[in-house]
């Protein structure tokens, strides 16, 4: 058999680029800002819990303090189920528990600072003091991911983490989040 005999090479069609279409004016996607889904009523400094389960329960109760949550126990189970997959203790003293539940109508968040470090099974092995709980319905999966990304960027900044831990009130905490997002 001669070299190359019987071998056929497929011809590949060139890739087609998707045409980008511009959105009509007024239909731009709004930027998700954390300080818009967090309220002073859903922030506690200091949190009273001393264990991971107590912190999760307290954050879910905060989330339900303004009527955003239908069945708080169902939301807690959803957050605990997500936590069982992989700890949301992201390191540097920050816990970002989150979950999806049909017991909330839209993406919402609660936050707090514990009085003493809490073992949260963090990826870096260090205890956590700063917590952000994010819960949304399945239909808000895109916003859920965007909010987690924004939280991660916020939590990476040493100065912001330190300021949030030292915030003396819910209003001061929320103002720090707002300032960090808009800076």
What is the distance between the terminal CA atoms of the chain, rounded to a whole angstrom?
Answer: 70
What is the extent of the structural domain holding 174? 34-182
What is the bridge-based pairing of β-strands 43-47 and 89-91? unpaired
Number of domains the chain contains? 1
By annotation, the residues acting in catalysis are 98
Confidence of residue 38 (pLDDT cuts 50, 70, 90): very high
**18 pLDDT higher than 70:** no
Q: Please, are residues 80 and 71 in contact by the beta-carbon 8 Å criterion?
A: no
- Give this prediction's pTM: 0.82
CATH number, residue 161: 3.40.930.10
Would 126 be classed as within a structural domain? yes
Query: Within 10 A of 152 (CB to CB), how many other CB atoms are there?
Result: 13
Flag whether 65 is in a domain. yes
Confidence check: pLDDT of 19 > 70: no
User: Is there a domain that residue 170 lies in?
Assistant: yes
pLDDT: which is higher, 13 or 143: 143
User: Residues of the chain with pLDDT > 90: what percent?
Assistant: 76
Is residue 2 assigned to a domain?
A: no
Q: Is residue 12 part of a domain?
A: no
**Residue 83 pLDDT:** 95
17 found inside a domain: no
For 40-62, give the DSSP string: GGGEEEEE---SHHHHHHHHHHH
Are 120 and 109 contacting, i.e. CB atoms less than 8 angstroms apart?
no
Residue 19 within a domain? no
Q: Is residue 99 part of a domain?
A: yes
């Amino acid at each position: 058999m001669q070299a190359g005999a019987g071998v056929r090479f497929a011809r590949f069609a060139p890739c087609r680029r998707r045409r980008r279409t511009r959105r009509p004016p007024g239909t731009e996607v709004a930027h998700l800002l954390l300080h818009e889904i967090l309220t002073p009523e859903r922030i506690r400094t200091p949190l009273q819990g001393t264990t991971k389960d107590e912190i999760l329960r307290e954050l879910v109760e905060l989330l339900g303090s303004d009527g955003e949550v239908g069945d708080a126990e169902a939301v807690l189970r959803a957050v605990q189920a997500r936590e069982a997959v992989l700890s949301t203790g992201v390191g540097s003293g920050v816990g970002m528990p989150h979950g999806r539940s049909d017991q909330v109508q839209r993406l919402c968040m609660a936050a707090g600072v514990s009085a003493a470090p809490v073992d949260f099974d963090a990826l870096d092995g260090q205890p956590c003091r700063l917590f952000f709980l994010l819960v949304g319905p399945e239909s808000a999966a895109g916003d859920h991911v965007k909010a987690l990304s924004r939280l991660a960027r916020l939590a990476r900044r040493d100065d912001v983490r330190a300021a949030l831990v030292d915030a003396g009130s819910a209003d001061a905490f929320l103002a720090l989040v707002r300032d960090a997002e808009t800076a």
